[in-house]
Structure 1
Amino acid sequence: MPKPKKRVLILDGDPYGFKAAVTHEEAIDWGDSVFTAHVDVKAAANSAADQIEELAEHLDAEVVFCWGGPNKKYFRHDLGSYKAARKVSVRPMCVPQIKEDLAERFESYWFPDLEGDDVIGILMTDPDFYPGYEKIAVSIDKDLKTIPGLYLNPDKMDEPVERSPEECEIFFLSQAIAGDITDGYAGAPGFGMATAEKLLRKCVVLEPYLHTLTRGPRKGQTEERTREVPADRLWDVVVSCYESTGLDESDALLNARMARILTADLWDKENQKPILWSPEHGAL
């Protein structure tokens, strides 16, 4: 009987730090309507570490802790209005300090100008990182569904699921079409994830044509419509969705770059800089 593969959790530490800060933030009433808040960083980090270690024990895996760069400015901010639509809210205290504490307890990685999800994507797809291990991406963010391999959302799942490269490519390009208002990229107006995925799975482009009405008060008049025509590649499907709304390939490319979680081939390890995605990197 073959020996089971060793496992490693490549884990997004940002949500663990945030949740621990929320849970452990306490208010003190000093009287005369004066309140202050405080967080016991050590206690918060202990509770987060307990959750991580419990998950690691359940899955019989080692832990790699990934987190976003401390400057909170990521490369997508230079591409457009990244996350500009998110409502301004009061963040809990001491999130950075809790993450720093956790990063000292586990093997940890952060890269300049990258979010935790990008760090996960790079390490998940780097063949030289934990070779021979079964790597599991652990994140509550749906964007990690664009990274092939085992994926686990600890808030919703007990066991990881396998995602094929083809499924991940469809999900990524569906996001490139539909956009994500919360993350600051609008996509092609009028296209949602379901429609985008349907077109990509059928691999068809939307071709404009003049349709002549055959009944009703406008009988005999013409109007422009679109019809589905087989496409040569998935990127052509994405571009046609944008062109059908009066936009062009440059708009499609910007949205795709905003949506693309980085992989090992999109990270310049020597210069510590992202390589912007282009259709030559994928788009089956």
Structure 2
Amino acid sequence: MPTDALIDADILAFQAASSAEQATYWGDGMWTLHADEKEAKRKFKGMVDSILERTNCDEATLVWSSTLNWRKGVYEPYKSNRADVRKPMVLKTIREWAQEEFHSIVEGSLEGDDLLGILATDPALDGKYIVCTIDKDMRSVPASHYNFGKDEFFEVSEFEADKYHMLQTLSGDPTDGYSGCTGIGPKTAEKILIAAIEEGTPWAKPEDMKALYWKHIVKAYEKAGLSEEFALSQARVARILRHGEYDFKTGEVKLWTPAT
């Protein structure tokens, strides 16, 4: 049974900072926006406490995204769609406060999602962590999960995680600014992967199945007039890192490579 809640703190900070904002109308067309820092801190702490209570965990480990991002070196437009989006007024303040107040990890050029994936799949820590987030991307991480937005507990197997990674490779993620394969949404992506599974049933071993996934994905990209190289860039940015895919000594990311 997990003893440590591994929490996506980027989401908590954003939600806490957003909830502390209030618009005020002064009349004659004049509006102002202000934020209550103390209220944001209370909200943040309350969410952490609630997660600990619901998961029955003794400790909380908060993971944060670095200001650097290795994915931009793989696919430059990654998250560029967020550049002009206004951030909550006290977000930076809440991040700095929370990183001092709670056990927190920020690392190199990693996103918080990567830290969730690396720690949750470390065999030396097997069973210690439960991943706590509302981010659907984390369904590509084989681990125990708690979605605190839906108050939902679930397990993700390695097979399910690998398949979800391939689904995102095909359909992309507009929220994160990568397109995937032109003209392919989640439903079509699912059909493509089912065709790969059917081709591999019943003989395919896990590595064979991964190779079949990639074969069908490349075929879909080429049909859309896109190269295998572009497909690989999409697969790499879609990949949430797992144990062994990052070197904490050198800060180097081991980029995902398709099975052959």
Cα offsets for 1:199-242 (capped at 9, x unmatched): 21331799xxxxxxxxxxxxxxxxxxxxxxx9962211211111
Q: 1:196 aligns with which of 181, 189, 199?
A: 189
User: Does structure 2 retain, via aligned residues, the 8 Å contact 1:150–1:162?
Assistant: yes
Q: Which residue matches 2:6?
A: 10
TM-score normalized with structure 2 length: 0.85
Does residue 244 of structure 1 match 2:223? yes
Larger radius of gyration: 1
Query: What is the rounded CA distance, in whole Å, between the counterparts of 2:172 and 2:24 in structure 1?
Result: 42
1:178 corresponding residue in structure 2: 171
Q: Post-superposition shift, 1:29? A: 6.6
8 A Cα contact 1:203 1:231, kept in partner: no
- SS class of match (1:262): coil
1:96-145 deviation per Cα after TM superposition (whole angstroms, max 9, x unaligned): 221222222322111122221111111111233xx354421111111101
In structure 2, the partner of 1:168 is: 161
Aligned to 1:68: 65
Offset at 1:84?
2.4
Residue matched to 2:41 = 45
1:110 aligned residue:
106
Change (3 A) 1:232 1:269: closer
In the alignment, the residues of structure 1 paired with residue 215 and residue 17 of structure 2 have an alpha-carbon distance, to the nearest angstrom, of 45
Q: Distance in 2 between matches of 1:204 and 1:245?
A: 22
Deviation for aligned residue 1:38: 3.7
Change (3 A) 1:205 1:190: farther
Q: Which structure has more helix as a fraction of its residues? A: 2
- 1:30-88 deviation digits (Å, cap 9, x = unpaired): 7887665443333312221112112211221121101111x3x3111222201223483
Quote the Cα distance in structure 2 between the aligned partners of 1:263 and 1:88: 31
Q: Which runs of 5+ in 1 are unaligned?
A: 207-229
Equivalents in 2 of 1:190, 1:63: separation in Å?
A: 41
SS at match of 2:155: strand
> SS at the partner of 1:233?
helix
TM-score by length of 1: 0.79
Q: 1:125 to 1:39 in 2, by over 3 A?
A: same
Structure 1 partner of 2:205:
none
* Counterpart contact for 1:84–1:182, Cα < 8 Å: no
Structure-1 residue corresponding to 2:206: none
**Hey, which of these two has a bigger chunk of strand by percent?**
1
Q: Which amino acid aligns with 1:150?
A: S
| Residue equivalent to 1:277 | 256
Equivalent AA in structure 2 for residue 236 of structure 1 = K
Letter in 1 for 2:39: A
Indicate the SS of the match to 2:244: helix
CA distance change for structure 1 residues 52 and 231 in 2, over 3 Å: closer, same or farther? closer
Aligned residue number for residue 20 of structure 2: 24
In structure 2, the CA distance between the partners of 1:111 and 1:27, relative to structure 1 (3 Å rule), is same
Ranges in structure 2 where 5+ consecutive residues have no aligned partner: 200-208
1:275/1:106 CA distance change after superposition, 3 Å: same
Name 1:220's counterpart in structure 2: none
Answer yes or no: is 1:258 the counterpart of 2:255.
no
String of CA shifts for 1:222-266, please: whole Å, max 9, x gaps.
Answer: xxxxxxxx9962211211111112222101101101111111221
Task: Report percent identity of matched pairs.
Answer: 35
* Cα distance in structure 2, aligned partners of 1:168 and 1:232: 15
